[in-house]
Amino acid sequence: MITQGVRIATRCDACGGVLTRDIGQFIDRGRLWWGTEGACQSCTVAWCEQDSGSETPEDIRQALLSEHGPARLRLTWPETSPVAVLRALRELQGLTLTQAKALAGELKATGLVGTLVEMEFVAAQLWQHSVRSVVEPRRR
């Protein structure tokens, strides 16, 4: 399982106490998941939310990118069949042919950028279509 998370302390809207949030993304059984949970140290405010699907809520993505930095996905063999790349991208994200061509062009030119988990997820989909790629996490 590939996972990445961050813990954030904020102010509780209900009581003003310290609210601790655990935020993350992970891949499980071939699906991209996101989760968030929080609990106030001073009152009964608490929650846990988890879902999978094509898009992670932007606040979760931004928290992960802020803490860990972006990862870049690059093709290891730029001469890879464009048909295989297009097929993989369309299946993965439900893109139109025009959208998939634009994303494939970006992948070939500069690579795709996102959270580590998102890029590993795309890399796994590409691998299923015999497209080899590498994920480069940001170096600290």
Is the CB of residue 139 less than 8 Å from the CB of residue 68?
Answer: no
Q: What is the pLDDT of residues 48-101, one digit of tens each?
A: 999 987 689 999 999 999 999 999 999 988 677 888 899 998 888 788 899 999
User: 5 or 89: whose pLDDT is higher?
Assistant: 5
Domain boundaries, the chain: 2-68, 71-137
* 3-state class (DSSP) for residue 96: coil
Confidence check: pLDDT of 11 > 60: yes
Identify the DSSP state of 110: T
Is the CB of residue 8 less than 8 Å from the CB of residue 63?
Answer: yes
Mean pLDDT is lowest, of 35-44, 64-73, 98-107, for 98-107
Q: Can you tell me which residue has the tokens 């996490």?
A: 137
Average pLDDT over residues 109-113: 93
Is the CB of residue 26 less than 8 Å from the CB of residue 33?
Answer: yes
* 3-state class (DSSP) for residue 129: coil
User: What is the CATH topology of the domain spanning 71-137?
Assistant: Ribosomal Protein L30; Chain: A, (3.30.1390)
